[in-house]
Amino acid sequence: MSSGAWIEQFPGNLTWSNAALVTKGMAPYGAVALGEIDEVCERLKARQGEADAWQEEWCAMARRLERAADAAASEGRQLTAGNTYLRAGMYYFTGERFVVPGEKKREIGRKALQCQHAGLERRYPNIERVEVPYENTTLPALFMKAPGPSGPAPTVVVFDGMDNCKEMSVLFAGLEFARRGFHTLAIDGPGQGESLRLRGLYARHDYEVPGTAAYEYVARRREVDPRKVVIMGYSFGGYYASRIAAFERRYCAGVAMSALHWDLAGWQREVKRRHETDPKTTPQSTFHFRWIMGAEDVDAGIERAERFSLAGVAQKISCPFLIVHAEDDKVVPVASAHKLFDAVGASRKSLKILTAEDGSTYHAQADNRQVGIDCIADWIVANL
């Protein structure tokens, strides 16, 4: 099917189009503005051959908004400042995406978090910044309280994907879950968001370790019913949520908002091949995967990916489990979702394949997050 300009902002350039779509997907939550995105993308269309263009244009928009937010805050217009800081933070995060790891990337990532948090604290007083004890350190997280419950309530722990952050998922997932009476812990695990950018914590295949840390944190909170804690991950987090559900049995249910490739190393070998032949046909930069893995080069990253497999693991999942995947997913083929569903050992398992008629055709519902989250929230209500 034809994708149209919403999905393919830069025809023939999947790398930039995918990144732009992830940013556009935050529009329903007030974290970006479509007019501002259009302004940036129009300038970028003429600069696709320039290495620094992406970072320069997105960060220029972010700085413009940050100045406006600072002015509003200084004049006491805190809610307006909050809106504007949120958008500035999202654009800094988008601009950082194709900057090679180093001090410049860290600084842009730091600015993104600073602005996002300045926005969230002004707009959402029910969000609390927390630290989750993990091994000899902590993992940064955001806890969104649902406004309704008077006693301990169900809670969803959400781990990000490869290209996202807790400041995104606390909005696109947490806001809907709060309406349903669920609390949300949006967390940057190892290899994700703030944990990767500012703390140097790299991805690990045995994600039940941070998964257990997250469970034990929320279970200690008086607002949380420890018998009704759901584990969820989206995109790359679809692997993490599956792994956690298999080994941390205290979660009462699990959700993979998109399955991941069954053979992660094979996928990364294909990404490497595309980078060598036609780099615009992959959504990843040349360095992103090795960066989250903490590997010195692409081959070392691929070697580490060999351990990221659900073979022999998915069968251990015994809690109710949901997989949501797009039929026309170009990042992770829909066959991976069917393979994961067949392998899951739980007697209560569900597979929802979303189509154009449902309103989403893209990976992890980046084209229409609400469709995926509504599906997930409805399933949680039915299965708790």
- Give me the percent of the chain exceeding a pLDDT of 90: 86
Give pLDDT, residue 284. 81
The mean per-residue pLDDT over the stretch 58-86 comes to 98
CA distance 158 to 281: 29
Phi first, then psi, for residue 149 (nearest 5°) are: -60, 140
Domain boundaries, the chain: 11-123, 126-262+309-384
Distance of CA 30 to the CA centre of its chain: 17
Per the CB < 8 A criterion, the answer to whether 326 and 334 are in contact is yes
Contacts for 207 with CB less than 8 Å, ≥ 6 apart: 159, 189, 190, 239, 240, 243, 244
What is the mean pLDDT of the segment spanning 217-242?
A: 97
Q: What is the pLDDT of residues 141-197, one digit of tens each?
A: 999 999 988 899 999 999 999 989 999 999 999 999 999 999 999 999 999 999 999
Q: What pLDDT is recorded for position 282?
A: 85
Question: What does the pLDDT read at residue 154?
Answer: 98
| Average pLDDT, integer, range 64-73 | 98
pLDDT (0 to 100) of residue 123: 97
Which of 96-100, 166-170, 283-287 has the least mean pLDDT? 283-287
What local confidence, expressed as pLDDT, does residue 76 receive? 98
- Radius of gyration of the chain from its Cα atoms, rounded to whole angstroms: 20
Tens of pLDDT, residues 304-358: 989 999 999 999 999 999 999 999 998 999 999 999 999 999 999 999 999 999 9
- Entry pTM: 0.96
Q: What pLDDT, on a 0 to 100 scale, did the predictor assign at position 301?
A: 87
Q: Give the domain 11-123 fold.
A: de novo design (two linked rop proteins) (1.20.1440)
Residue 1 pLDDT grade (very low, low, confident, very high; cuts 50, 70, 90): very low
Domain 126-262+309-384 -> CATH class: alpha beta
Quick: pLDDT tens for 257-278. Answer: 999 988 888 888 888 888 888 8
Nearest to 220 by CA among 338, 133, 341: 133
Token duo for residue 210: 């941070």
Q: What pLDDT score does 340 carry?
A: 97
**pLDDT score of 63 more than 70:** yes
